[in-house]
Amino acid sequence: MLAEDGRSMKSICLLQLCRLGVIVYDWLDIPWLKNYYNFGFDHFEMSWRKVGFSGLVDLLLGNTGPFSSGDWILPDLTIQGSLKINSTLKTFPNTFYFSYATKRTRKLFGITVPSSVLGVHPMLFLRVLQMCMWRHPQNAPLPYKGYRDEDWEDNDGALNTISMTHPRIPIEHPNRFVVDDSDCNPLQPGIWYHKIIEGDHILFIVNRERAGVQFDLLYDGIFERCRKHAFRKSPPTMPNEASH
């Protein structure tokens, strides 16, 4: 995406090829292919049977179709898009918040680099390095007041660590950084507790074998924390007691 506005796609990039491929795939409307995989764009009526060749041109140019309105995931993932969404968010005073942010980076002679070669999934290592090295274009306006490249260098190969902790732009919500779980006992509502753990984006999401015991400790902690606050005012009701 272009850093200048956070909504437009670069003219030449891998994502453009993916966009064009998806459009042509749906325009061809080959039944056995659609049965194998359907992108779910049928409501845009992109089939050649309905729009013809001129419709394909409009789709490829971005005048019509799923990518024409800007209402899709990538614009929302940019800093500008996140800022727009965050401006509508509210931290509710009676809701408990706890977020885990992951990172696979460290400082080496003042430079942010991947924390290890073997500790990062092969699919993500180059991405971790790329995100460490990314710099906002000097000729583009800053996405928000006080923006600094170094704040966005820590990452897990898919997301910047700073974007995982709590809403902080354009207005920072009440929050507390947690080093040890005992730091947040008792947990208070209306505050974003956040903890940074070492791991790439795949480690705690889909790969229990790689995470090992850390995977169990993480999810056991989440369960115990939820259980404690779910039963904080009244004893639990067992399933066989609910029917009495």
5-10: average pLDDT: 85
How many CA atoms, within 13 angstroms, populate the side-chain half-sphere of residue 10? 8
Name the band, by pLDDT with cuts 50, 70 and 90, for residue 77: confident
pLDDT for 10: 87
pLDDT greater than 60 at residue 109? yes
Closest CA to 74 of 163, 9, 159, 147: 9
Name the band, by pLDDT with cuts 50, 70 and 90, for residue 83: very high
pLDDT tens column, 128-174: 999 999 999 988 899 999 999 999 999 998 899 999 999 998 999 99
pLDDT tens column, 23-70: 999 999 999 999 999 999 999 999 999 999 999 999 999 899 998 888
pLDDT greater than 60 at residue 243? no
70: left (phi over 0), alpha (psi -120 to 50) or beta: left
pLDDT for 217: 79
What would the two tokens of residue 123 be?
A: 């699919």
190: left (phi over 0), alpha (psi -120 to 50) or beta: left
Task: List the beta strands (DSSP E) in the chain.
Answer: 97-103, 105-108, 111-114, 175-177, 192-198
pLDDT for 21: 94
pLDDT for 123: 82
pLDDT greater than 70 at residue 231? no
The share of the chain scoring above pLDDT 90, in percent, equals 47
Check residues 83 and 217 and name the one with the higher pLDDT. Answer: 83
pLDDT for 224: 81
Closest CA to 219 of 232, 200, 204, 229: 204
pLDDT greater than 80 at residue 206? no
pLDDT greater than 90 at residue 92? yes
Spatial CB neighbours of 115, under 8 Å, sequence gap ≥ 6:
103, 104, 105, 106, 198
pLDDT for 242: 52
Domains of the chain: 14-77 (no CATH), 89-231 (3.40.50.1820)
pLDDT for 238: 55
The pLDDT mean for the chain works out to 86
Query: Strands 105-108, 111-114: parallel, antiparallel or unpaired by DSSP?
Result: antiparallel
d(CA 192, CA 73): 24
